[in-house]
Amino acid sequence: MINRLVEKIKKTGAPIVVGLDPMLKYIPQYIRQTAYAEYGETLAGAGEAIWQYNKGIVDAICDLVPAVKPQIAMYEQFGLEGMQAFQKTVDYCHEKGLVVIGDVKRGDIGSTSEAYAAGHLGKVMVGSKVCRGFNEDFATVNPYLGSDGVKPFIKVCQEEKKGIFILVKTSNPSSGEFQDRFLQEDGKPLYEAVGRQVAKWSEECMGDTYSYVGAVVGATYPEQGKILRSIMPKSFILVPGYGAQGGKGADLVHFFNKDGLGAIVNSSRGIIAAYQQEKYAAFGERGYADASRAAVIDMREDIAQALK
């Protein structure tokens, strides 16, 4: 799947992943009204609104980008009905040929991580039958529990040729609270130790040029990105924090390798709710999907300029 991701990035010229992180306030009123008219102001109504909204965006951007990244929390908040919208979205993106990165940030003790890995990337046996749960192509993984918590994901990646991105240095303002603590052993921050471990894990699961084991490093920390890029040469970096969170095109150059690859940049709000920005306001509510398309094209250009 990492080979497929690399190939699709080359083909589209867009090292971009669109974050499908729907909030009800982003969804045009006409979509919400139609959904509520059919299902009521209920969790099912919210799920339907999210699904219709996502579908419009996916149709508008699927030829431009290699991948999407649904943030499962935005679905999980609506309970089972939200999870249904998540599943429909994952399946629809697959139909449209997109690589799906499940932003699930799971991670637990060994036997439990096995279950998460099976549910999101792998398969389960029910009696004599093989069944698949959510079936994304990549998942994000939290490293706090150490190798026990990560290896079950790597095992499934090896079996299924799927991938993971491990949280190393996250994009949020307080990410440094624990991740930046300097370690006694070498005077370097914790995130570097996590990065070195990701580099080791990445060797266990190589695609043609990059590993199935990648990392998450926020666009909001470009200097740290530069160091982590060199620590984890074989890992793709999933870069959140571009756009709405403050990361700029010029900040991104450090996250890429000299081959122009090695990073994929996420934008969520900046694309899916583009029509709510002044810049794209002319599209109007009914043109929300076209506004998303325009925002992707602008982002592609912004990154291309930065990488020149």
CA dist., res. 205 & res. 181, Å (int): 29
Indicate which single residue of 38, 63, 76, 285 sits in contact with a copy of itself (rule: CB under 8 A).
Answer: 76
Indicate which single residue of 26, 53, 92, 134 sits in contact with a copy of itself (rule: CB under 8 A).
Answer: 134
Question: Does the protein bind a copy of itself through residue 73 (CB under 8 A)?
Answer: yes
User: Catalytic annotation on 88?
Assistant: no
Nearer to a copy of itself, 45 or 56 (CB): 45
CA dist., res. 31 & res. 165, Å (int): 33
Rg of the chain in Å (alpha carbons): 19
> Taking each helix axis from N to C terminus, what angle separates 147-160 and 190-203, rounded to the nearest 10 degrees?
30
Find the catalytic residue in 11, 88, 96, 105.
105
Do the bridges between strand 129-131 and strand 124-126 make them parallel or antiparallel, or are there none, so unpaired? antiparallel
Question: Does the protein bind a copy of itself through residue 178 (CB under 8 A)?
Answer: yes
Report CA-CA distances (Å) from 150 to 15, 138, 140, 220: 26, 13, 10, 25
Indicate which single residue of 13, 97, 173, 284 sits in contact with a copy of itself (rule: CB under 8 A).
Answer: 173
From 5-13, 82-90, 284-292, 300-308, span contacting a copy of itself (CB under 8 A): 82-90
Residue 98 Cβ vs a copy of itself, minimum distance, rounded to whole Å: 20
DSSP line for 218-270: -TT-HHHHHHHHHH-TTS-EEE--BGGGSB-GGGGGGGS-TTS-SEEEEESHH
Residues 220-239 that bind a copy of itself (CB under 8 A): none
Nearer to a copy of itself, 152 or 287 (CB): 152
Indicate which single residue of 30, 63, 124, 279 sits in contact with a copy of itself (rule: CB under 8 A).
Answer: 124
CA dist., res. 101 & res. 15, Å (int): 14
Question: Does the protein bind a copy of itself through residue 182 (CB under 8 A)?
Answer: yes
Question: Does the protein bind a copy of itself through residue 55 (CB under 8 A)?
Answer: no
Do the bridges between strand 16-18 and strand 263-267 make them parallel or antiparallel, or are there none, so unpaired? parallel
Residue 119 Cβ vs a copy of itself, minimum distance, rounded to whole Å: 4
The closest of 87, 33, 97 to 59, measured between CA atoms, is 97
Question: Does the protein bind a copy of itself through residue 288 (CB under 8 A)?
Answer: no
Active site residues: 105
